[in-house]
Structures are given as structure tokens and as C-alpha cells.
Structure 1
């Protein structure tokens, strides 16, 4: 046992212990025969760096993972990163820009190779930062959503869904980012309020009988209007339904249709309908019988005006940026006399969160998943309790979204990502020009696609020419014209899959699905070749990217020295789970699926969590996780959402540098209350650093007084009341922590161990046992001292184990320094909550003693009794049980309450301090100790001042004008000050009453 330094240095401890844990494989699941327990981390973007939300999310996961290990389970925390298609491509293109290079200066293969090179060199920053936080992840099996094994799962899922009719190609509106040139998800759209305008226009009726008024915030879209909608119940327009209006500028005739989307109470009650550029209008257009292929699209991929199918847009508008076109069109409308008026208005405007460009609803061909069909089993899983959502209040939101879910657009116009495994065949000459699509061949590999082509084309297969993009293929097709002898062309879809599509497979594709062996349980596979189960290879050619994807140096260290092919016996079961007669799930993938729990921010409930449910239930026939825990956001101290633009972002690494990882982790846990966001409070983090220091000093006290590691998991035998009491307190704390963690009450668990360690053990127990231990230069001996040292050592051990999931570094260090151990703390045993060791009578006596000492200390402080003054305690009215307690504890009272002696005689006359504990009143004569008259005067004056301020604040708060007009923070401060002054007046009045 080495001596603990006087100073607690988190930085040195954290670096040393994390390196030890990882180097010795202590995060690896390696407990044959133990109950498997599995959690997967939400894979952070490979481009990312640790932010405060990551710190919260991963702290909660680590608490559960470390707790599961301590409970004897074979805990696996799957770690990995997401390839982050848009973000990663932007990073690499930005780097290329520093060298005056553009993506289009290279072939697709060359660019993808550059991305792999960047990932190998710079793509692991966040994983190193997770280590600094103390995350006990299985780094030996780190996954990446573009590694070969995972890519195989992604391609299989795409192909299977397509073959089942659950994935299809369709023309619909998407969120289009003109800056990035790709469709994006709703999560990547940021809505901002901007100052805009509302243009009111007159559309003349085609028969010359008048006009109908409409209004718009985007007047440029009138070039692609296809209808005007009025509410069928609006009597003003009944006679106009079915008539036509002539659009200004283009002169195109469009119908007036009836649709409930038009609100008679808004504006004129008539709405212009542009189905190719507005999500609501798209649905109105479809209800009006307009097919998506016939909807007009007036913008190209860069949001510049392009000619529509009718060819009526004036030439001088073509090629203009949408906002330049807006100015020009407004001028033309004004010149035509159809611009009625313009209003200033605040507009909710969508922006791309990465590009900063205004998002355009754009009509384009994309790949979609039939989310409505896949959502049904997920809805039932939550409704039936197979998936438990915590807190339960999120269920209503979940059901509302899932029951109204829209098709999921899964294609992105990028080069980096899982390329869609679809090949488009030739449009036969007889169908050219009439809009008929060519055949689509969907397959996991190009060779499988070619087999489908051979079957489709027969002898004509030899005439096919293969291209890598539609642009190249169409160029050759234009040259071919209708020449029946010209070779037909086939091209690969150039789009990639949305990263949410691949991450939706995370709970099972990371475990080796569909056919790779599981790497997580060596005892269940043949030999060490199980490490090859990652399916990782230096060749990633299975997705058709060719040699460009062979550059994956990041995987070399993960598979170096291991067999590249696992034996047949190592293959994981891919049999689909079914519910047994009792409704229980049958574990798959060596018991790792379903995962036990998923920790997630509520903001990705639909983008990730729900989609994992859909894919897991569809492909594994079972839920992906049994419990979904949704935590809140970490907000700034004033409650505002953190953002770089506001300058209120908190860097968790800076907090770790200042206070240590343990303090930050404990803050996150203690503040994580179900259903509530966390307000960042650096003072609280500092306070938990002080908590760590207090525990450190308590361990040093124990070490200096001969208290060492316990040799048993059970509580030692105890006869002294103080030892029986602390054993009972320990057991009750174990019970409280167990119950809190079982209910995912992280704050409850953290606060239970905090209060016990700080107040019960460090403050009271150590203080109470000091007389039993003697002095360091003359340590006490005998049965009482031996018993106390044994109990104190056992209690400290229980504290270290209970606290380890929350504060792993300091607890592991203290565990190693306070005695000989059979193992590191990370793999020790969780305490037993054995209620048989609780002695109620001993607990009552020590609780009484603590209340008595606390009351004495409080009264002394309130009445300005000098700290060194020793008082007489008179208990003349106390009963026999109280007298016995006082006599048994005179030594403690003398030491911790500065009591000179105890008397059961009547109280002498004169001023005396009074306190009441339970049914007993105790008196402490103060004649000659303090100036009683001066003290009464001081207290009376203080009471009057506090009451005056209290009443003034009450008057202000009672003024409705102040409460309604003042800033919220001013009102809140007034309420806090009022509560403070009220409490002060009550405290001083109680102190005055103590003088009798």
C-alpha cells in the first residue's frame, strides 16, 4: 500500500489509468458464462470533436456500462464513428480549396481516395476525446459505417428492401441545398426568422371577367404556378371553381381548384399553388390530379431559373439566381399592374445548417423507403412494452410522428458514402421520347447486377456499354439517337445513401450481421480468429468503388496479426428471432441482440432511434434495444440553447483540463433529471471537484489511521452503535443507488452516493470515530479500535465501488492505494444490499446524536458563541433513554460540540441557550460566555431589517405592473431575494427565542 500524495491531481491520474485500462483489455467483454449486456454509442461524425452534448450522452452510457461490469455482467459497449457524408465531403473539399483544387478536378475514385487518406490521418480526433472523458468502450472492435463488413450490411438492406417493394424511386419534393448540391434531411435544416415581405398579386381570370387575389413570400415561384386553390366552403369563390386564370409574365392558363388547404380567414382566402416548389402545394397538386412527373420545376440544382416544360419563361429570366429573379419578377409584375401591395413580414426561412444557404423545396427523382409500412411494427413494439421509452412522456410524441410518417428520402447527391447499388439500363428505342423509364438493376455487387442484365437483355447483353455516371451515358445516347445498331448503355446511380440509412443498422450490423462471426465472446468461437469477425479488409471493392476504396489504412491496427478468415464455427447466428409462447425475445448474435438499452438525445428520436426500430424489427424480427432513454439538452446557464453564433458554447475539454473528468462526469449525472434540460453551471462542476478532493482527504485520513482495504464483500461484524449505524447507512445507500439506476434516475443515484460519501462518511462518521482510533502518534488498540478500522475500510470500499461508474479515475486510484486488491476496481464486485445487517436501534441513536450536535453547532453560530468556548449541557427534564444516550456519547459531544460536561440538575438562573431535539429540551448557560443584552439587541435589530426588506420585496412582487413589464430575470431575482430575507428573519427570530 503506497502513501497517497497530499494533493489530488486529476490530470496525472486520468492519463495513467485510462492507458492501463485500455492496454490491459479491461473494456473488453471477456466473462464466459456471464450474462451478456450490450449498449451501442450513437456514432459521432468522424469529422466531429467532443461537445457538451457528447459529454452528457457518453457519460450516461459509461455509467451504465461500468455498473453492468461491476454487477458481474459481460458488458460490451460498441464504439464507432459515422462517415458523415456531407460533413466529411465538405472538410475534404475545404482542404482541397487551400490548394486551389476542386472536387470536379478529379475523378470520383480519386476524390474518394483523398477522403480515405484524410480519415486515416485526421479522422480520429473525437475518439481520443472520448478517452479523455473516461469512456470504457471496446476500442479493439471500433467500427466505422464505411468499413467493409458494415458496408456489406448496408447494401444487403438496400437490396432486400427494394426486392420487397419497400424501397423505390420516385419524384417528390425534397429539402434541396443549392450550396451543397444535394438533398438533405430535416435534421440538417435550420429555421431562422428573417425580415421579409408578403407580395399580394392579382391573377386575371381567363375570360376577362375580373381577377383573383393571391399572396406569396416567394413571388419568383409564380413562374411555375399550376393552380389557384380556394376553400370549397368559401362562398365568395363558389362560382370561380373550375375556371382558369392567366398567369402574368408567362401567359399560361391554370385552373382554380377547391381544396381545404386554402384558409378563408387568411388573406384573400385564395392560395397560389406551385407543387414543384412547396411541400403543401405538392400535396394540393396531387389531390388536384397533377402527377409528379407533370409538375413544373423552374429551378436547376444551383437554384437558378431554368426553362419549364411549357417553354414559356422569358429568355431574360433564364439563368438568374432565384433571388435576382425575384427582384426582376416583382418589377415585371409591377409594370403589368398586377402587384396590389407589399407588406413587411417576419418569415420563417429554412437554411442548410452546414452551407448556410436558403433551402429550396425541389422536385427531383430520389430513392425512398416506405417508412409507413416499416413504422407499424415499431409502433406496436412501443405500445406493447417490448421497447420501453424513458421518460414515458415521449411516447405521445413518438406515436404522433410515427403514425403520420412520410416516405423517407435516402439518396444524397454526394461522392462520399455508400454508393447506391443500382444500375440504370437503356431506354429501348421504341420508348425514347415518350417518358418511359429504362430498366433498373439493383444488386449488392456489380457482378450480380450484370447477371440480372444478362437475363433481361439476353443476346443483346453483348451490345451494352457501361458508364459510371448518367452524364457520360446520356452524352453517348444523344449521339446514338434512334440508331438500332448503336450499343445500348448502362450506368451506375451516382448518388450515395443518407448516413441515417446506414446508422439505422448500428445495433446489429456492428455485431457482425449479416454473416460475419461475432468478435465479442472468444469462448464461443474457435480460436482467436474471432478477431477477424469485424469483416475489415484493406479492400473495400464490394460496393463497386474499385481500387479507390482500397485505401483504408485506419483498419490495419485493428486486424494486424489476426487471421483474415474465421472458421465456420465462428459464424454468428443470423436466424431471425421470433417471440416465444411467453412473448420473450430469443437473443441473437451471441446474446448481443437486442441491445439492453440505448441512450440518446431526444432530438434524434425520429432520425435515428425510430429508424433503428424499423430496420431492426424488419431484418432481425426483434427490437434493437429493450429500453430507449432520452435525455435533454445541455443549455447555457441562462437556459438558452448553446450555439457558436451566441458565443455561449462550453468546451467540455476545457472543463476537464480545469476540474478533471470525474468532476464533469458527476455534474452531468447529478443534473440529469428525466424530462428536463441541464443548465450549465461551472460552479457546480467546481463543487464536484471539491467533492473529489474531500474523498481524497478522507482516504488519506483512513490510510494514516491504519484503515486498509476490506477483505470481504459482506459487512464486518460490529457491536458499537456508530459502526452499526454507518453499515446501515451504507446498505441503504446501495439500495437507493440500485433502485435509481434501475429506473434510469441518474440524478437520484448520483445524489444518493454524494450525500452519503460527503455527509455521512466524510463529515460525521470520520468525526465520530476519531476518539476510537486514538492519535496518529499513539493509535488506539483493542476490540473497539479493530472493529472500527475494519468497518471504516469496508465502508470506504463500498463508496469507491458505488462511485466508480460516475467518477472512475479517482476511485480506481484510491482503490489501488488503500490496500492489496485481487483486481482493478473496474472489474470488482458491486456491493450487496443486505438488509439483515441493519440495526434500527443503533441507527436511531446515531441519527439522534447527529441532530443534537447539529442543533448545538447551529445555535452556537447564531448566538456568536466563541468557537473555543466549552459549554455545560443541562438535561434536567430528559427521560432515562435520553440520559443513557448522553452518558454513552459524552466523549463525542465533548469533541465535536465543545461540551464541557453534562448535568441532570435544574438549570441555573440567567440567560441560557435552548435547543429542542425530539421531545427533549436542552439548556446551555451563557452567563459570562457572551454579552446577553448585546446579543438580544443585535438579533432584534437584524430581525427588523430583514422583515423590512422582505416586506418591500413582497410589495414589489405584488405589483402586477412590475411582474408583467420587468425583465424575467429581474422578477426571478426579486423572488429569490424575498425568499432569502424571509428565511433570514425566521432564522434570527428562532435564535432570539433560543435565549429564553
Structure 2
């Protein structure tokens, strides 16, 4: 077998090679039948999307799980796919048409839909090509799209069933309206931003006071009330003013009316407990058609909503002379007129949260609109029960509380969107307005006929709206397996094993999948929900184009290699918390890849051409061999324990420490003398076999994190795909094995000598003597056998075993578990010069610590800065403190 690795690791060529080979050989379709199943669906990215840092994190986590479960011998299915992303896709295509000087309305609906399908085939799905670059081990033959024929049919069946069960209705409610895209949007598509605005305190005169003929300027404070609002342009939709029932300031206003400024409309003063007594004046205007809380209050109080805005955000005829003005233009004019007429008491600066459409950034308008809704409470109750009973487990468990809080206060779900791209609502209308819900036009004709309505096909009108994309993606875990058909895949792979997703879509996707799964499959859609945090920049800030801190994963993959990037994401991922993206860490993991490559190359270069991998005979192995096997066993045990809790950061750091530390820095160095042939033939052969065996098992553990590098090196050792080999097993070397114990002491001695040299600043080229004071003949024999390697590792000239050695004043002494280590430093170390250097460094460090201490003890900094930033500064302080302690120890040694 050819075991020639190039002299340097070049990720790009290795990655492209294995991406192609895995797909050509259908590696991830080769699942063992009859075994325990493990199934998972991909959170479907938008068809318009590109791989962003959140995708990279989420997909890396899933791929680690999938590759590990495959290695456990399970029948693994990871289903890929994309969401049709109604608003986003329509916006993309409309922008493309604008380049040609055309707009959506230049086409019929059918023509426009055809344009979108053409775009989808040509340009859509860029993200799936990028998923391949990330090394995702999905079964691409199973790829689904939320608008493909099977899923579309399933969506229509679900809508019809929910409608027949009385759970879908058409009615008027407050929704999130985007005046730019001119559609309702879901809650998740509303991004709230803190904005510096104004709080306008407006005088509403008592109608009885105006009846006396007084002007607003001449009214006393008892003759008008003050209402505070951030949106004065909506006042034309006011139908009442409201106070809290327990607010004694306004108890005298019961039964009174006020006159709405500018339009002279009389409205009542009412009382409702939803009013915040502490906000503004303690009085709020009730505008039911333009505020969700006001809408609910209006229903309780029996008020009729008044809509004052058009769908494009301009004011309508109910706004009087302001009709036709854009909402923000109208705000300026209304305020100007109110000030001129004396209705403004004061205007304050006011920071408040304003909803924006994630797609394009337009300010969202709460608007009363006739839409399609799902009665959600009946679906939510069983979905709450399955989590409370433990049938579905959230990890970390703290997210269950978030889930319960939302589900227990859930409101009806607006599912209709005013778009042309999406699943069109299957509601059909006869000329007389009669409506039926049907799976097809032909079925609609039959349903009309049953009602005694004879209607021709061309006379029937289908509802213009389409369904919210979350409606179809909520059915994802079972529709991808062929539902409503009772397929073998559905029987075998549903419920899925686990869902991996971010906390930001628990409400909008996770909850809806649970509700849909229980309703239509009679079972949960998954058994576990693994929640990960968001990726933020190194200062703890969200990634944002406007802030210029966005990270493109593809750039990172190209610069550092995909394996380094994947490993970084796993190694810095705390359980359920956000991770801070520090690019400097990637360079360290690139070095890790190079370390593995170069170590493997060294091993292969020192194997004879006729080398054959053989099972290890533990009885014939030497102490260093048994020690490294034990270290692997210990790593494997901790690795599996960490995986049981999905602690990927712990798994990554365990394998990192073992490969770089125990295997490369220790065993490889200790075995070089044997590999080079300065020992018996059997000792040399055993060293080679152990090196290859442990390398192979290490690659098996590392593979889920670094699939490309590991597959490439493994190909030098076996014709089988590493992706399909079983998870490594333990060697069975216990901690109590005498050889292991002795080697641990040897390692302790070498580490202690290195630390002593480093703390004292003894340069590597200075070969010092080592004197060991202990009484243990077995340990002495071990050290004498490994003498050449130990001298190399400690940069020492000689090692003497002198239990009764008498110390000199130039000796440095350190303790280890079985005795003392003495470094005679006379003639190789300038104590006074080193003392001066350390004193200077100590002064510099103390200065840095004082700066940091002042910062982290400053209440203003701690209160204003993000917790992640404060924590980072504390970590810096701890690092400096540790360094200072090290210097003090070195000075203490020099002075004594």
C-alpha cells in the first residue's frame, strides 16, 4: 500500500478529493439494515441562503453526531433539504426582474411563479453546494424541498384537516404588516431594534370643557388629560382613552368623554387593568386596529376598531386632511400641527424597541387585517404535556422553561401571506361568496355541488394568499419520509432521534413541529432537542453587516482549512451558551492539523515497504507502549461520557490533548530511538505497530470533527472508508498496571524538569545535569531504559540517581511524587542577570494588572458592557495573575 504523504498538508486538494469520492461512492447511503436506526432531519435552510456562521456551527454539530452514530453501527439517515422561503425568494426574483426594467405586476401569477422556478433551478440551492464543502455526511439522494410535489400535497391535506376540525379560521386580528413587501410576516421575521425616538405628550381636552367655548390654550389642568405616545400619526384610529382601574388620579373621569385633537371626534374615557400606571401619564390611547394590546383591550371593552392606514403605509380617508401621506411624513405634519394649535404639552427623547422586517429592514406596522389563523391552544396543550412528561427532552434543560412560558401563553397563529410564491391556500370561492376548502379545484366543484351550488370551473376563485413557510416546515420531520403515504421510511425513521437547532426558533419551528407531529402522526417528531447558542464576535457582539463584523465561513475554511474551522466550532462551544468567534484560535487548530499530518508522515516514512498491520500482543509490549494504550483508553472513556451529554467542547479538547500531547509530544518522542533501530528487532516492530495502531484509533475518534484530514491519512492504512469504520474500542489497560504507574512518574519527572528550566529561564541549548533523589529500583530501571529519550525531552546532559545527594547553594530543587529533582546550575546560569530580567517583567505585568483591575472593578463598565466582554477581561486578569505567580516562584528560587 502506498503510504506517501506530501511534505505539507494542503487542505483544499484533500477536501475536494473526498467530497467527490464520498458522493461518487454513495458512502452515506450505505447503512446497515436490520440495525438500530438513527434519524435526523436538517433544519432546512432557505433556498436563497448562503452558508453563514450559524449554519456552519449547527451543521458541524449535527455532522459530528451523525458520523459518531454511524460509527456505532446504526442505520443512520440524515435528510437534507431546503425551505422555499416565501418572502426572501420573491424579493430576490423581483430584484432580478428590476434589473430588466420589469416588476411582478407585469406578469400573471402563473408567469411569475414560472420565473421563480426558473431562478430556483439555476441559482437556488447555493447553500447545498456549500454544505458539501463543509463535509456534511448527508444522504443527498434523499434531498427534499418544501415546495416539491410530495410535500406540497401534504401541506394541503394538513390545512384541510385542520379546517375540518375547526382549528383553522379566517378572521380579523392584529398582525405584523410590512408596508414595503405588502404582506403579513411571522413573529420570527420581525427584528426588534433599540431606536432613539420621541415620546409625545398630547393634550386630549374633556368634551365638556370645550363645550363652554374655551380654546385648548385656555383650559385648566383639570379640563384636559395628557396621553403619551410614540406614534402620534395613529391617533386618528383612537376609539377611547384608558386608565388603570386602581389609578386614583383618574377616578373622577368615569363616564367622561374627551375630544380627539385635529379631527374633533368624541371618544370615551375607560378603565382596564392592562394599562401601566407608571408609563407616561398613566393614560393610554386605545387604537385597536394598530396595536395588539389595544386590540385585546378593545375586545374586552366592546370597542369597534378603526383602520387609518393603507397597505403601503400611507394614511387613509379616516385621517382627514392627512390622507395619502406616508406614515412617517404624516407623523411630522401631525406633530407640527399639534404644536401650532397648542395640543403638545411636552416632547421627550425616548429609547424604545421598534420592529423591523428582517427582509429589507422596513419598519413593521401592527395592523388589523383579515387573515387565516390557526386556533393554537388545542394543539399546544398536548405539546406541553410531552415535554413536561419527559417524552421530549430539551438539552440544556433550562430551555424547557422558555418553551413552557411561550406555549402556555400562546396566541392564534396567522398563517396567510400576501405573496405569489408559496403554498396557495386551498380555499375556493363561488361567485356568490360561498367558500369551501378542498385539495383540488375538482374537489371544490364537488363540494359546491353538495351544497346545491352549480358553478363552472372558470367561475371559481381560489384564495390569493399563500401559507406562512413555517406552516410547511412544521411538517418537515414526517413529510420528508413520504407522509401522508404510509411508507417504509416513515415507519422506520419516525420519530427522529434528535433535533439540533438554535434557541431563537424554539417557538417558531420546534414548537410547531411538536404540535404537528402529535396531531398528524400521533407521536412526537423527535426524542431530544439539542439547543445551541449563537456565534458572536470576540467582543460578544452579534454579527451584523452594518457593524462590519460579519464572518464568512467559506473565507475561514479557505484560509485555515475546513477541518480546522469545524474543530474550532466544536472546541469552543459551551453547553447551550453563545460562543465567541476569535479568529486567532483557528491558527492554533490549523497547527493541530499540521501536527497530525507531520506525525503521520514521520510514522509512514519509518515503516518498511512490507509492513503489515497486526493485532497487538500486550504481553510483548514495553512500558511506554502500555502507557500510551492506557492513555488512549482513558481518553476514549472520557470521550464517550462527554458525548452522552453532548459536550462537544470537552470531546474536542480530550482528543486534542491526547493526540498532540500524549501521542505526538510524548509517545512519538519516546519511541524514536526504537523506530530508528537502536534496539532489538522485536522492540522496533512493537513500536511501529503501536504507533500505527494508536494513530488509527485516534483518527477514528477525531474523524467526526475533522473528516477530510482523517480520511486522507486513514486511506494510507486501510482500503475501507474511515467514515464507515466502527468507533474505536479500548485496549483494556488499567490505571493500576505497574508499567503505567511507572511511566506516569517518568512523565511527571520530565514535566517537572521542563517547568523548572522554564521558570528559571535556562535556555534550551544549555545542557544541565539532573540528579534524582529517590529509592525505587523498578522506576530507575525504566528511566535507564528510556534514558536517551528522556535526555532529549529534558534537554539534559546526564541523569544521576543519588538518593543521598547533598545540596549546593547553586542547585535548584523541585519535588515529585517519589522524591526530589535537583538541577545543578553552577556555570550554566547567571542568577543576577535573570533576577533583573524577571524583576523588569514583573513590573510590566503589575502595570497591566492594575489597568485591568481598575476596569473590572468599575461599576459603570460592568453594568454597560456585555457579560461576555466583562468575562473576557476577567480571564485576561487571571492570565496575568498566573504569570505573575510564576515569576514570583522563579524569583524565590533564585533568591534561595
TM-score scaled by length of structure 1: 0.84
CA distance in 2, matches of 1:195, 1:866: 60
Q: What pairs with 1:32-47 in structure 2 (closer than 5 Å)? A: 32-47=33-48
Tell me which of 349, 358, 362 is aligned to 2:367: 362
Paired position in structure 2 for 1:305? 315
Paired position in structure 2 for 1:473? none
Residues 633-665 of structure 1: CA distance to partner in whole angstroms, max 9, x if unpaired?
A: 111121110010000000110111111110000
Range moving further from structure 2, 714-723 or 273-282? 714-723
CA distance in 1, matches of 2:543, 2:805: 65
Please say if residues 616 and 690 of structure 2, whose CA atoms lie closer than 8 Å, have aligned partners that are also in contact.
Answer: no
Range moving further from structure 2, 859-868 or 6-15? 859-868
Secondary structure, aligned partner of 2:540: coil
Residues 100-142 of structure 1: CA distance to partner in whole angstroms, max 9, x if unpaired?
A: 1110011000000000000010002110001000011111121
Tell me which of 266, 284, 304 is aligned to 1:253: 266
Tell me which of 387, 407, 411 is aligned to 1:406: 411
Paired position in structure 1 for 2:225? 212
Secondary structure, aligned partner of 2:492: coil
- CA deviation after TM superposition for structure 1 residue 701, in Å: 1.3
Paired position in structure 1 for 2:592? 691
In structure 2, the CA distance between the partners of 1:371 and 1:976, relative to structure 1 (3 Å rule), is closer
Secondary structure, aligned partner of 1:669: helix
Tell me which of 432, 448, 451 is aligned to 2:446: 451
Paired position in structure 1 for 2:626? 724
Residues 725-778 of structure 1: CA distance to partner in whole angstroms, max 9, x if unpaired?
A: 111111111111111112111101111111101100011000111122225xxx
Please say if residues 772 and 799 of structure 2, whose CA atoms lie closer than 8 Å, have aligned partners that are also in contact.
Answer: no
- CA deviation after TM superposition for structure 1 residue 977, in Å: 6.5
Paired position in structure 2 for 1:572? 487
Secondary structure, aligned partner of 2:28: coil
CA distance in 1, matches of 2:400, 2:616: 42
Please say if residues 191 and 350 of structure 1, whose CA atoms lie closer than 8 Å, have aligned partners that are also in contact.
Answer: yes
Paired position in structure 2 for 1:496? 466
Q: Give 5+ residue unaligned stretches, structure 1.
A: 428-437, 468-489, 516-570, 574-587
Tell me which of 737, 748, 754 is aligned to 2:639: 737
Residues 951-996 of structure 1: CA distance to partner in whole angstroms, max 9, x if unpaired?
A: 5566666669972456969988986675455434432343355565
Paired position in structure 1 for 2:216? none
- CA deviation after TM superposition for structure 1 residue 299, in Å: 0.9
In structure 2, the CA distance between the partners of 1:907 and 1:105, relative to structure 1 (3 Å rule), is same
- CA deviation after TM superposition for structure 1 residue 884, in Å: 4.2
- CA deviation after TM superposition for structure 1 residue 785, in Å: 2.0
In structure 2, the CA distance between the partners of 1:278 and 1:499, relative to structure 1 (3 Å rule), is same
Paired position in structure 2 for 1:461? 454
Range moving further from structure 2, 390-399 or 231-240? 231-240
CA distance in 2, matches of 1:328, 1:894: 86
Please say if residues 227 and 256 of structure 1, whose CA atoms lie closer than 8 Å, have aligned partners that are also in contact.
Answer: yes
- CA deviation after TM superposition for structure 1 residue 922, in Å: 2.2
CA distance in 2, matches of 1:450, 1:974: 70
- CA deviation after TM superposition for structure 1 residue 425, in Å: 3.3
Q: What pairs with 1:158-197 in structure 2 (closer than 5 Å)? A: 158-197=159-198
Residues 15-39 of structure 1: CA distance to partner in whole angstroms, max 9, x if unpaired?
A: 0111000111111153211211111
Q: Give 5+ residue unaligned stretches, structure 2.
A: 211-222
- CA deviation after TM superposition for structure 1 residue 876, in Å: 4.4
Paired position in structure 2 for 1:889? 786
Secondary structure, aligned partner of 2:84: coil
Secondary structure, aligned partner of 2:858: helix
- CA deviation after TM superposition for structure 1 residue 368, in Å: 0.8
Please say if residues 45 and 83 of structure 1, whose CA atoms lie closer than 8 Å, have aligned partners that are also in contact.
Answer: yes
CA distance in 1, matches of 2:462, 2:722: 55
In structure 2, the CA distance between the partners of 1:320 and 1:820, relative to structure 1 (3 Å rule), is closer
Cα RMSD (Å) of the superposition? 2.5
Does residue 1:240 correspond to 2:245, yes or no? Answer: no
Secondary structure, aligned partner of 1:902: strand
Tell me which of 296, 318, 325 is aligned to 1:320: 325
Range moving further from structure 2, 785-794 or 440-449? 785-794
Please say if residues 872 and 903 of structure 1, whose CA atoms lie closer than 8 Å, have aligned partners that are also in contact.
Answer: no
- CA deviation after TM superposition for structure 1 residue 195, in Å: 3.2
Paired position in structure 2 for 1:752? 654
Please say if residues 351 and 357 of structure 1, whose CA atoms lie closer than 8 Å, have aligned partners that are also in contact.
Answer: yes
Paired position in structure 1 for 2:219? none
Paired position in structure 1 for 2:220? none
Range moving further from structure 2, 75-84 or 889-898? 889-898
Residues 666-701 of structure 1: CA distance to partner in whole angstroms, max 9, x if unpaired?
A: 001101111221111111111111101100111111
CA distance in 1, matches of 2:198, 2:809: 83
- CA deviation after TM superposition for structure 1 residue 871, in Å: 3.8
Does residue 1:423 correspond to 2:428, yes or no? Answer: yes
Paired position in structure 2 for 1:867? 764
Residues 905-960 of structure 1: CA distance to partner in whole angstroms, max 9, x if unpaired?
A: 634756223221114012232333x14xx32x234334544554555566666669
Please say if residues 563 and 705 of structure 2, whose CA atoms lie closer than 8 Å, have aligned partners that are also in contact.
Answer: yes
Secondary structure, aligned partner of 1:320: coil
CA distance in 2, matches of 1:972, 1:629: 25
In structure 2, the CA distance between the partners of 1:977 and 1:276, relative to structure 1 (3 Å rule), is closer
Please say if residues 178 and 302 of structure 1, whose CA atoms lie closer than 8 Å, have aligned partners that are also in contact.
Answer: yes
Paired position in structure 2 for 1:940? 835
Secondary structure, aligned partner of 1:792: helix
TM-score scaled by length of structure 2: 0.93
Paired position in structure 2 for 1:230? 243
CA distance in 2, matches of 1:184, 1:771: 69
Secondary structure, aligned partner of 2:744: helix
- CA deviation after TM superposition for structure 1 residue 422, in Å: 0.5
In structure 2, the CA distance between the partners of 1:885 and 1:30, relative to structure 1 (3 Å rule), is closer
In structure 2, the CA distance between the partners of 1:510 and 1:203, relative to structure 1 (3 Å rule), is same
Secondary structure, aligned partner of 2:310: coil
Paired position in structure 1 for 2:713? 814
CA distance in 1, matches of 2:574, 2:647: 7
Paired position in structure 1 for 2:559? 658
CA distance in 1, matches of 2:339, 2:177: 30
Please say if residues 190 and 353 of structure 1, whose CA atoms lie closer than 8 Å, have aligned partners that are also in contact.
Answer: yes
Paired position in structure 1 for 2:279? 266
Does residue 1:396 correspond to 2:434, yes or no? Answer: no
Q: How many residue pairs align between the two structures?
A: 875
Range moving further from structure 2, 116-125 or 206-215? 206-215
Residues 841-873 of structure 1: CA distance to partner in whole angstroms, max 9, x if unpaired?
A: 222211111111122222234444453444443
Q: What pairs with 1:473-872 in structure 2 (closer than 5 Å)? A: 490-515=460-485, 572=487, 589-706=490-607, 718-775=620-677, 781-817=680-716, 819-821=717-719, 823-833=720-730, 835=732, 840-872=737-769
CA distance in 2, matches of 1:868, 1:57: 48
In structure 2, the CA distance between the partners of 1:222 and 1:862, relative to structure 1 (3 Å rule), is closer
Paired position in structure 2 for 1:345? 350
In structure 2, the CA distance between the partners of 1:974 and 1:452, relative to structure 1 (3 Å rule), is closer
In structure 2, the CA distance between the partners of 1:276 and 1:886, relative to structure 1 (3 Å rule), is same
CA distance in 2, matches of 1:194, 1:732: 54
Please say if residues 81 and 145 of structure 1, whose CA atoms lie closer than 8 Å, have aligned partners that are also in contact.
Answer: yes
- CA deviation after TM superposition for structure 1 residue 714, in Å: 8.0
- CA deviation after TM superposition for structure 1 residue 380, in Å: 1.1
Please say if residues 83 and 146 of structure 1, whose CA atoms lie closer than 8 Å, have aligned partners that are also in contact.
Answer: yes
CA distance in 2, matches of 1:837, 1:786: 24
Residues 229-258 of structure 1: CA distance to partner in whole angstroms, max 9, x if unpaired?
A: 111112232232233223233333222111
Please say if residues 355 and 363 of structure 2, whose CA atoms lie closer than 8 Å, have aligned partners that are also in contact.
Answer: yes
Tell me which of 911, 917, 920 is aligned to 2:816: 917
Range moving further from structure 2, 501-510 or 299-308? 299-308
CA distance in 2, matches of 1:404, 1:971: 34
In structure 2, the CA distance between the partners of 1:873 and 1:790, relative to structure 1 (3 Å rule), is same
CA distance in 2, matches of 1:908, 1:422: 96
